[in-house]
Structure 1
């Protein structure tokens, strides 16, 4: 072993206990306990196999009260009968030479009733967690708070009896202890709430009783740690200054270590995304001499020895390792032998790696599982250097490739290095190495830089592939053969590619833009479907027939009836198809033109587009499907009435032929092609568009060149709520969540939940030709997209309605009267002014209040090429052009004269998967 590395240096804690090195196994949920929180044999062996060289193992959180489990399969320390099982874990860890620390917690309002026998969860205040379907908890009485503190003390006593070397108090992850400190979840007016000092009382009392139990029942070397989440994104919520205040209080009382709970040890603020200072830097800058004596644990993003050493160099005293310890039970031994590790798990090795079955199915592990039996694309092993350029950023990177994977990405030393990118680089590097693909989620707040780095990695892989072909005696310029070529990488293209691959086809995706996602990544509201499993779980009664009729009405009865019927019938299957690919849209809202909640979205109510693309790209990576970025299709090759492939040109203007029996066109619409928009709708000249710049109608032209017919080309939808300075679409989910539209006079002027064309027309008819979306903090909390709008800087906020009106240059009395009248309509569930019947969800009376100035923008082109119900492209004689399919916004006829919000996402998945199926069957027949 290399004894020089600082990670092997022992550390003496404030209580005198000595940790043999700086490495800890992080506490990670395994979901592997018995139904009552008991310990299974698999769990004992899981911890035994990971102890040894690693200095300390922090065992996953144990709930201290029967109402405390925050997830299924949690283990418990709520009664004395749990001590023997926990003792087996402690003994297994210590027998291998590692210290054993047990994390203790209570889930508070994060507990689901079904986990505690249908009972109500408890919390500091009767305020539901800011997530869809969250149960409003029962507020603990003052006496119950005191009892809860004693239960934490009892848990410490049991941990001591079980033989653990210490406990970690879990004051993070929005669980009960953090809930008491948070001004979001704690709105008490007794000694346990209100001021920051009062809110800090509960965590300090838990620490105090922990000390009492340790002093009474343990020896002086018993370790007491505290885990904390440095910030909350909610408003109001914990900010970093609040955290430092609490940590100083904890340090004054005495703790042996403090444990950051973050996704990456170099994380920056989630509140101020413009601030690139890492939290650990802020911590060092602000801590007192007393706090400086407390060791600090960093976590997240540590895979190799260099990562651990980097974390120590950044100012952490100890390093907790999570996913790498799951993938490699002997992780510490491996890195000390200077092995370079990749964060993946062989799909055949669950038993060999001693991973309990429930943990194997957990999303954290599932994301690391790789089928190593599939060959994937092959590279020439070596280091390939590429330049990265994005905005003012210029970097060089080295990409190290093995014959079948990316093994490393490093920054080349350069005096002009933009150090502000270094944190984002490390996060993105980790994501790419885990996925073995450059097609991963961008780093929030560094999108342009992320895309540039991903592109550089993609270039290196392309170069290596060419060199591999040459090395094998082949010609990289020779035509390549596939079964299916998919043009376009939005939702329709990705779902088509996945489906075609799963049916045995060799697939390639061709994308003219430098990144994956198309216009889908900008989608906000959700996916419409009727009679779904998720509706039934929520007690929503719906029918496909009603969905059909409302969509037909919304499209002004111009919809192609056969396509619409296929769309409606297949929508529930499409929702299930996504769920089967780990893309679950289980929250439900409503959009304009619908009478029933049938718009499916992510559980956290975030914008559907990024969630959808992230999940689909994960599936693309798992299948090693080839993706060619910055590559345009110049021509669909067509001979004797049959498609034979495509001619492409890459960013270097190199031309190639891709042979294929099947071609799927999923290139989107033409909203970003102003000339094309004005050709069909001259009155839309000058309107901004919500679409990405690649939505130019290129796929329509490609198909027209081989004889495809078009339909409804003049049917172009404008969306009513577009922020004009950024062309950013404000999701219909905000109005669907209860927001209203007001004019500059401060008055409502129309039914906000009417179809997009009608609402747009009413806004344009206003003297100012714009309007304000107004909503309160309840609506914000229930729509994650609202926080994104706030972060982007185009939301005006104020603590009261009157103050908001003044900021909007609006008569305060008018806006106040408007909200009061609307709130009456919410109570009586009847809008006497404009007949709004849906989304009368809550009175707008909880400050702060928010507003966004909006006006219409070009949003969707309903027209496109003609297809049949099998997604086959038709010519002007309604005859099938053999071998070519189309799906998504490139197609016309489905939506008629107006698209209902939420129908586009359904469209791309329904017809994307159908096109993938039919194209694969044709190619392989």
Structure 2
């Protein structure tokens, strides 16, 4: 028998059910379910197109209890209402000719409380998982354990009623079933734990009730599989001998297959690190005759037929295929025809491949994506030598282009010669070549160098395109034409460009700086919105009306009521707009001036700005939207009192005229223009600013020249927590996460979660005019931005509060008393001193302890040009200027006399998408 015949011949399971071949699609989390765990049509289609030529599809894990979902967007089988949706998946798979198997699980202590409405996760014992920030679960009572077994049984019954051919019991990945077998997580002393014989009771009970349900509701062809993780690193933990003991017990009760859960199918032991023998070989050598009768499935690293053959040669009977099935829905048919595959995904083909948006942004999928949006780009092939500057030196970079791609990037000359420099260059080079675009994320810790390399590539591409156009007889003097020109590439500009493109417009983005991102990239806290599905999932009761009233109060009742109402009403829609484009803000905290958690941020608690810009730029490049960097808008051209074009000035002082009917100005505010700030607020002379150097108010001046009115120009916000030497903003999410402010004497002096203007004023009123933001390891672990502050050297840390006080030069007796008093307020959830009512999350008592010295800095200009609720720019008579739109900090009126933290990010997405929509509508009309 040839290897190919061995792979593709039918395979019979122990219960007599025949699979058409030895290949199965591995269960891979897609996070594509609705907020309540029901099935979306997008998920049905995802599975439909991957069924057919493959033997069976194992559908991603389904939670059997609403306390058991381990990730957002999980699908459930926890009640009978879920049967109808799951039936659509089963029908879709079986209709294409593959077997349909459903994996069932409970996350146990791996469940994030935020996913289950703030409730405490359950587990065999009240022991937190050995990972940062893990929650201590509640131990299940004996009756609850039996109830959990019954819930697994109910899940099996529902899977049968939904039409699945079988179930896979998920006893791996440190989820609940594995937790019951592990001596690390199960330290009970009843019938469900203690000795290994007792710890095996729960998985055996789940298998027994699975058989019971199959006998009652299914026929003999129903497949029962079991997935397991062979080892744990923890001490104590599961060792390979323990796993064999468990599997022998399971096999004696009847299984149709066992599924090794490994990242690579031929991986050796993670415990016995000196032994290179693949675990599957050890398994085959050590198993009993009974266990040998149960087929064993491998997974991990399978891309081509040779990978399958290698797995079978080492002892696997079946092979599960993961990422290759995502990249190639017809993977089995391709390898059957002898095709040799490379594991990557064309960035322009998400819809064609039926990959749901939530799965598209998973790291395992993102790592496979290659940006092919430049497929229509045309360059004059050749080598282009570009000289660029990073923070430290001049770099000479050779960029080799072929007619439709970036072929190579090489460092020709640099005064820097270090391992770190070379490594970061190779990393950014690889990102650009893989994505086939310079619009990629910079390397952390080497931002300046990354941006220089990206700029060199962009300059080479521009020169090459011009050279090709000239060679083909193009006239450089001929005015270019676009439906919409977006000025500025921060969050508002990118959102406007993406929305305009999606409305059918041809879009150009013009950015005066050498990089994309504007001031948005510095945003830290998050994005405010009320009545979102992410709030509902976490059990947060909020209302748009409350959001409106708190924003109005925060703005000192000076907000434009109509703009604020549009802002509040559109906020949850804007959260979904981002989610639909792979930018998921599903962790929630709070900021000053808010009474409820409504500040949405990335799941890992990182600063929102970099994450947001990274996601928007990915969307920009996938759509092939044109970008001109290092290019200023010299003038907005008018004809018959309507926008007719823009005149641009490039870095080479070349004037370019672009014809357009719609311009979206999204150039940000003027916080970095000290003369302009002092013009409107003389009292702010000498203050540092948190803004990037491009925030100079140029867009306001441009629009004023075509008749735009302005509003609230004197309303300039200072942010209370700015590190003064670097002008680095310390995110409000740190205070929202539970930090406090203390003065040089070690005392609290104000409500940390009051509005920014009031907190800033209280710091300025201190004799020393500065304060410290103080937090502990608990706050740090839940706010990834804190790690960035530590890495930048902004943080003073110590093992104890006393040691921290001594490092800061403050009276440690006063400081210790402050912490003790505040921790008492947290325990009682009542701040007797300053009336703080939000973010009294946890006592500050977990070392190490951290402090950052801060003082206020100019942060946001609430004033700007006047706009209406469609983001149209209004003239001094309050009439729309045809073809002119504005969004983001360049526009005034929304925030009134003070901006609430988290409202700016909402502003840029809400009004950015509105501006893009209206600009495209005008261009098409």
* Length-normalised TM-score, structure 2: 0.70
SS of equivalent residue, structure 1 residue 519: helix
CA contact (8 A) 2:548 2:568 kept: no
CA contact (8 A) 1:484 1:923 kept: yes
Please state how far the C-alpha of 1:885 moved relative to its aligned partner.
Answer: 2.4
Please state how far the C-alpha of 1:550 moved relative to its aligned partner.
Answer: 0.8
Please state how far the C-alpha of 1:774 moved relative to its aligned partner.
Answer: 1.8
Give a deviation string over 1:152-181, Cα, whole Å, max 9, x none: 9xx9xxxxxx999x9997336x88758999
Please state how far the C-alpha of 1:842 moved relative to its aligned partner.
Answer: 2.7
Please state how far the C-alpha of 1:833 moved relative to its aligned partner.
Answer: 2.0
Please state how far the C-alpha of 1:847 moved relative to its aligned partner.
Answer: 0.7
Tell me which residue corresponds to 2:916: 916
CA contact (8 A) 1:631 1:651 kept: yes
- Alpha-carbon distance change, 247 to 646 in structure 1, aligned in 2, over 3 angstroms: farther
CA contact (8 A) 2:866 2:891 kept: yes
- Alpha-carbon distance change, 469 to 288 in structure 1, aligned in 2, over 3 angstroms: same
1:752 aligns with 2:748: no
What root-mean-square deviation, in Å, do the aligned CA atoms of Structure 1 and Structure 2 show?
6.5
Tell me which residue corresponds to 2:377: 379
Q: Distance in 1 between matches of 2:117 and 2:675?
A: 62
Please state how far the C-alpha of 1:27 moved relative to its aligned partner.
Answer: 5.0
- Alpha-carbon distance change, 818 to 346 in structure 1, aligned in 2, over 3 angstroms: closer
- Alpha-carbon distance change, 577 to 171 in structure 1, aligned in 2, over 3 angstroms: closer
2:568 to 535, 560, 571: 571
CA contact (8 A) 1:587 1:605 kept: yes
Give a deviation string over 1:102-159, Cα, whole Å, max 9, x none: 999652234589999999853355578999999974325799999999999xx9xxxx
SS of equivalent residue, structure 2 residue 518: coil
Q: Distance in 2 between matches of 1:515 and 1:808?
A: 38
- Alpha-carbon distance change, 134 to 847 in structure 1, aligned in 2, over 3 angstroms: closer
Q: Distance in 2 between matches of 1:179 and 1:515?
A: 52
1:547 aligns with 2:550: yes
Please state how far the C-alpha of 1:513 moved relative to its aligned partner.
Answer: 1.9
Tell me which residue corresponds to 1:233: none
Q: Distance in 1 between matches of 2:118 and 2:854?
A: 46
1:421 aligns with 2:417: no
Q: Distance in 1 between matches of 2:407 and 2:451?
A: 15
Q: Distance in 2 between matches of 1:655 and 1:548?
A: 43
Please state how far the C-alpha of 1:718 moved relative to its aligned partner.
Answer: 1.6
1:694 aligns with 2:689: no
Alignment of 1:328-367 (within 5 A): 328-329=328-329, 331=331, 343-344=345-346, 360=356, 362-364=358-360
Give a deviation string over 1:436-458, Cα, whole Å, max 9, x none: x5434445455445444544554
Give a deviation string over 1:343-394, Cα, whole Å, max 9, x none: 13876986xx7x6xxx646533898899x9x998832267565668656787
- Alpha-carbon distance change, 584 to 639 in structure 1, aligned in 2, over 3 angstroms: same
Please state how far the C-alpha of 1:771 moved relative to its aligned partner.
Answer: 1.5
CA contact (8 A) 1:377 1:624 kept: no
1:171 aligns with 2:173: yes
Q: Distance in 1 between matches of 2:187 and 2:778?
A: 21
- Alpha-carbon distance change, 682 to 482 in structure 1, aligned in 2, over 3 angstroms: same
Q: Distance in 2 between matches of 1:516 and 1:494?
A: 9
Please state how far the C-alpha of 1:729 moved relative to its aligned partner.
Answer: 1.4
CA contact (8 A) 2:567 2:907 kept: no
Give a deviation string over 1:852-894, Cα, whole Å, max 9, x none: 3232343434254431424443455656544322222122343
- Alpha-carbon distance change, 799 to 861 in structure 1, aligned in 2, over 3 angstroms: closer
CA contact (8 A) 1:531 1:544 kept: no
With 638-647 and 517-526 compared, the bigger mean Cα shift is at 638-647
CA contact (8 A) 2:540 2:597 kept: no
Alignment of 1:73-84 (within 5 A): 73=75
Q: Distance in 1 between matches of 2:914 and 2:638?
A: 22
Give a deviation string over 1:520-541, Cα, whole Å, max 9, x none: 1221223334566666662225
Alignment of 1:258-407 (within 5 A): 287-289=273-275, 322-329=322-329, 331=331, 343-344=345-346, 360=356, 362-364=358-360, 378-380=376-378, 385=383, 396=398, 398=400, 402=404, 406=405
Tell me which residue corresponds to 2:287: none
CA contact (8 A) 2:735 2:839 kept: no
Give a deviation string over 1:222-259, Cα, whole Å, max 9, x none: x99976999xxxxxxxxxx9799989999999999997
- Alpha-carbon distance change, 169 to 584 in structure 1, aligned in 2, over 3 angstroms: closer
Tell me which residue corresponds to 1:883: 883
Q: Distance in 1 between matches of 2:241 and 2:384?
A: 49
Tell me which residue corresponds to 1:638: 638
Alignment of 1:16-95 (within 5 A): 27-29=27-29, 70=70, 72-73=74-75
Give a deviation string over 1:402-457, Cα, whole Å, max 9, x none: 4xxx5x75555989896523773487358725xxx543444545544544454455
Tell me which residue corresponds to 1:866: 865
- Alpha-carbon distance change, 784 to 909 in structure 1, aligned in 2, over 3 angstroms: same
CA contact (8 A) 1:104 1:169 kept: no
Tell me which residue corresponds to 1:848: 847
Please state how far the C-alpha of 1:283 moved relative to its aligned partner.
Answer: 11
Please state how far the C-alpha of 1:813 moved relative to its aligned partner.
Answer: 2.4
Please state how far the C-alpha of 1:818 moved relative to its aligned partner.
Answer: 1.0
Please state how far the C-alpha of 1:578 moved relative to its aligned partner.
Answer: 3.5
Q: Distance in 2 between matches of 1:494 and 1:891?
A: 16
Give unmatched runs, 5+ long, in structure 2: 4-22, 79-86, 156-163, 207-224, 248-257, 282-297, 309-318
Give unmatched runs, 5+ long, in structure 1: 4-22, 77-84, 156-161, 193-197, 211-222, 231-240, 266-279, 309-318
- Alpha-carbon distance change, 803 to 24 in structure 1, aligned in 2, over 3 angstroms: farther
CA contact (8 A) 1:244 1:283 kept: no
Q: Distance in 2 between matches of 1:118 and 1:831?
A: 22
CA contact (8 A) 2:872 2:880 kept: yes
Please state how far the C-alpha of 1:658 moved relative to its aligned partner.
Answer: 1.0
CA contact (8 A) 2:883 2:919 kept: yes
Q: Distance in 2 between matches of 1:27 and 1:533?
A: 26
- Alpha-carbon distance change, 649 to 257 in structure 1, aligned in 2, over 3 angstroms: farther
Tell me which residue corresponds to 2:19: none
Please state how far the C-alpha of 1:807 moved relative to its aligned partner.
Answer: 4.0
Tell me which residue corresponds to 2:743: 743
Q: Distance in 1 between matches of 2:758 and 2:428?
A: 46
Alignment of 1:415-814 (within 5 A): 419-421=422-424, 424-425=427-428, 428-429=431-432, 432=435, 437-459=437-459, 461-463=461-463, 465-466=465-466, 469-470=469-470, 473-529=473-529, 538-541=540-543, 542-543=545-546, 546-547=549-550, 549-553=552-556, 557=557, 559=558, 561=559, 563-581=560-578, 582=580, 583-639=583-639, 641-814=641-814
Please state how far the C-alpha of 1:485 moved relative to its aligned partner.
Answer: 1.0
CA contact (8 A) 1:398 1:410 kept: yes
CA contact (8 A) 1:690 1:857 kept: no
Please state how far the C-alpha of 1:739 moved relative to its aligned partner.
Answer: 1.8
- Alpha-carbon distance change, 342 to 609 in structure 1, aligned in 2, over 3 angstroms: same
Please state how far the C-alpha of 1:679 moved relative to its aligned partner.
Answer: 4.4
Q: Distance in 2 between matches of 1:42 and 1:487?
A: 39
CA contact (8 A) 1:590 1:736 kept: yes
CA contact (8 A) 1:168 1:227 kept: no
Q: Distance in 1 between matches of 2:700 and 2:876?
A: 14
